[in-house]
Structure 1
Amino acid sequence: MAETFDDFLPEALRFTSPAPLVDIGANLTHESFARDLPAVLARARAARVTTLILTGTDREHAEQAVAMCREHGDAGLSLHATAGVHPHDASRWDAELAAAMAALQRQPEVVAVGECGLDFNRNFSSPTDQQRAFEGQLAIAAESGKPLFLHERDAGRRLREMLHAWRDDIGDAVVHCFTADRETLFGYLDLDLHIGLTGWLCDERRGHHLRELVGEIPAERLMVETDCPYLLPRNLPAKLKGRRHEPALLPWIVREIAHWRGESEAALAKSTSATARRFFRLPAA
């Protein structure tokens, strides 16, 4: 039976942001959302997560994200999409796929090129294929003028080298789900990149180092995201059945980031949303 608006999140997890939020990375085309997407969107609205950027990680999911924006976007919730080829799938990059991704960038729902980049941690595609596909998507970003939505893991130095070579041709870019170290962070900031933070910060096993870094990110470069259904915060005040992350939990991540930045939750909500609207060229709230 599909979950309803009321019966999925326990009362302790029904957060409400003090200001409207933009979730810059929501994988709502993931199969786990197929059974209850309307309820997921309703819970996002109730939490004041009013704008969602749906991540397109390959042609199929980018097309699904565009269709989802058309079907479910309404006055109470603003939906937009990205379109790119994730480094895990870089071996599939060819002229036909490049043309299809360039065509997707011409759709009004698509606001960024990506998720694209480099992942030398798992190497589901070879580093050579990853760099070839990323180079092709840098060219699409330069041609379209749209910002880049970047993925990087264990490849910070090479990603910075490639971005540096293209820096005069591309516009804004955000390293989504940043989890790396201080040197990598400042390398990205030196390239005028934006940074996306997730619930990784809420993980005492592996996200502790980020707590010392979040205050170093300028407000005009910082955005927030769930990366749902992945990266469910480990320090939530109640258990969540199924452990599927969703946009309605973004206010908890904002609260955690605000604490470690030493600022109010409201101030962080306002600044990250303003930055996201400017970055993705969204209408004013």
Structure 2
Amino acid sequence: MNKYIDIGINLTNRQFDNDADDIIQNGIDADVVQMILTGTSVKNSQESAKIAAHYPGVLYATAGIHPHDAKSFDGQSIAQLKALLQLKEVVSVGECGLDFDRDFSPRDVQERCYKAQLELAIEVQKPLFLHERAAFNRFIAVTNEYLPQLPKAVVHCFTGSMAEAKTYLDNGFYLGFTGAISDSNRFEHLKEVLQYVPLNRILIETDAPFMLPKNVPKNQLTKYHERRNEPAFLPYVAGTIAQFKGVGLDVIARHSTENAKGFFGI
């Protein structure tokens, strides 16, 4: 039996209000044996850690401040995140990084918040869950300042170019792939990227409730929810990667699971 680990789900999102337990069970029923809840603010990270604690060995969480939420960063934020990172179920620093696509927080504030979390990851030596959108050059410049000291890092929900992928891989980063890879209209270039990325650097995620894979059968959508992504659909992400790389689904399941266990120490 293939087993999967979803490295990024937004279980505190309002789309999952009142049925989070069902979402988790749906995932388990689809052989997604472990899931990592993404923290995007101090408050959200606290909520994610609380949920994860109720499912020991199944759910884990990250603790961080997303660039969209960088405007909430204050003098207490790092101490609050550090306290969360002492918990055994909190396995990563993030989601953190830069997003110049929407600029929901001022760019200088994003950078200050990101640098503080890079320093936190170095201090606590837990891996980084990174976000970069429309900010590659500045993101690399900032990250390179800390690179020799950084723990492991994954650029989650990667949709960038081959050149960007090569830069991240050359820096020792992992790449996280979502259902975006099945969108041949917007992200056709990711087929070539995935053919290039070695199996030992691939992590898979749903980023649920977002990034619904295009190849989920309609009867599955009707069974769960017509528009919402969830961990139960992770095998469709793995299936697309297997197709692109010309290998069996079991190969992707095995490698991505081993990678996730080693990366997050779970």
Q: Does 1:167 align with 2:147?
A: yes
Question: Which whole-Å CA distance do the structure 1 matches of 2:32 and 2:226 have between them?
Answer: 21
- Any residues of structure 2 matched to 1:231-270 within 5 Å, and which? 231-238=211-218, 240=221, 241-270=225-254
Q: State whether residues 97 and 131 of structure 2, in contact with CA within 8 Å, keep that contact through their aligned partners in structure 1.
A: yes
* Paired amino acid for 2:45: A
Residue 207 of structure 1, aligned match among 180, 187, 194: 187
Question: Which whole-Å CA distance do the structure 2 matches of 1:247 and 1:193 have between them?
Answer: 24
Q: State whether residues 27 and 232 of structure 2, in contact with CA within 8 Å, keep that contact through their aligned partners in structure 1.
A: yes
Larger displacement relative to structure 2 (198-207 or 112-121): 198-207
- Any residues of structure 2 matched to 1:95-114 within 5 Å, and which? 95-114=75-94
Q: Does 1:57 align with 2:40?
A: yes
Q: Which string of whole-angstrom CA distances, capped at 9 and with x for unpartnered residues, describes residues 189-223 of structure 1?
A: 11100000000011122121101110111111110
Q: Does 1:222 align with 2:202?
A: yes
Q: Which secondary structure does the structure 1 equivalent of 2:148 belong to?
A: coil
Number of residue pairs matched by the alignment: 262
Question: Which whole-Å CA distance do the structure 2 matches of 1:228 and 1:273 have between them?
Answer: 18
**Residue 29 of structure 1 aligns with which residue?**
12
**Residue 138 of structure 1 aligns with which residue?**
118
Q: Which string of whole-angstrom CA distances, capped at 9 and with x for unpartnered residues, describes residues 35-80 of structure 1?
A: 2122211111111100101101011111111111112336xxx110
Query: Aligned-pair RMSD on alpha carbons?
Result: 1.2
Q: Which string of whole-angstrom CA distances, capped at 9 and with x for unpartnered residues, describes residues 89-123 of structure 1?
A: 11221211121112111111110000000001111
Structure 2 unaligned blocks of 5 or more: none
Residue 85 of structure 1, aligned match among 65, 89, 108: 65
Question: Which whole-Å CA distance do the structure 2 matches of 1:59 and 1:19 have between them?
Answer: 34
Q: Which string of whole-angstrom CA distances, capped at 9 and with x for unpartnered residues, describes residues 121-149 of structure 1?
A: 11111111110000000010010000000
Question: Which whole-Å CA distance do the structure 1 matches of 2:14 and 2:77 have between them?
Answer: 23
Q: Which secondary structure does the structure 2 equivalent of 1:220 belong to?
A: helix
The percentage of aligned residue pairs carrying the same residue is: 39
**Residue 196 of structure 1 aligns with which residue?**
176
Q: Does 1:67 align with 2:67?
A: no
Q: Which secondary structure does the structure 2 equivalent of 1:136 belong to?
A: helix
Residue 275 of structure 1, aligned match among 244, 249, 259: 259
Q: Which string of whole-angstrom CA distances, capped at 9 and with x for unpartnered residues, describes residues 143-180 of structure 1?
A: 00000000000111111122211012111000000001
Question: Which whole-Å CA distance do the structure 1 matches of 2:215 and 2:253 have between them?
Answer: 20
Question: Which whole-Å CA distance do the structure 2 matches of 1:258 and 1:268 have between them?
Answer: 6
Q: Does 1:183 align with 2:166?
A: no
TM-score, normalised relative to structure 1: 0.89
Question: Which whole-Å CA distance do the structure 1 matches of 2:75 and 2:156 have between them?
Answer: 26
Q: Which secondary structure does the structure 2 equivalent of 1:149 belong to?
A: strand
Q: Which secondary structure does the structure 2 equivalent of 1:243 belong to?
A: coil
Deviation at 1:253, TM superposition (A): 1.0
Question: Which whole-Å CA distance do the structure 2 matches of 1:183 and 1:211 have between them?
Answer: 14
Structure 1 unaligned blocks of 5 or more: 1-17
Question: Which whole-Å CA distance do the structure 2 matches of 1:238 and 1:168 have between them?
Answer: 47
* Paired amino acid for 2:183: D
* Paired amino acid for 2:91: V
Deviation at 1:272, TM superposition (A): 0.5
Q: Which secondary structure does the structure 2 equivalent of 1:25 belong to?
A: strand
* Paired amino acid for 2:68: H
**Residue 153 of structure 1 aligns with which residue?**
133
Q: Which runs of 4+ in 1 moved over 4 A?
A: none
Question: Which whole-Å CA distance do the structure 2 matches of 1:237 and 1:40 have between them?
Answer: 18
Q: Which secondary structure does the structure 2 equivalent of 1:231 belong to?
A: coil
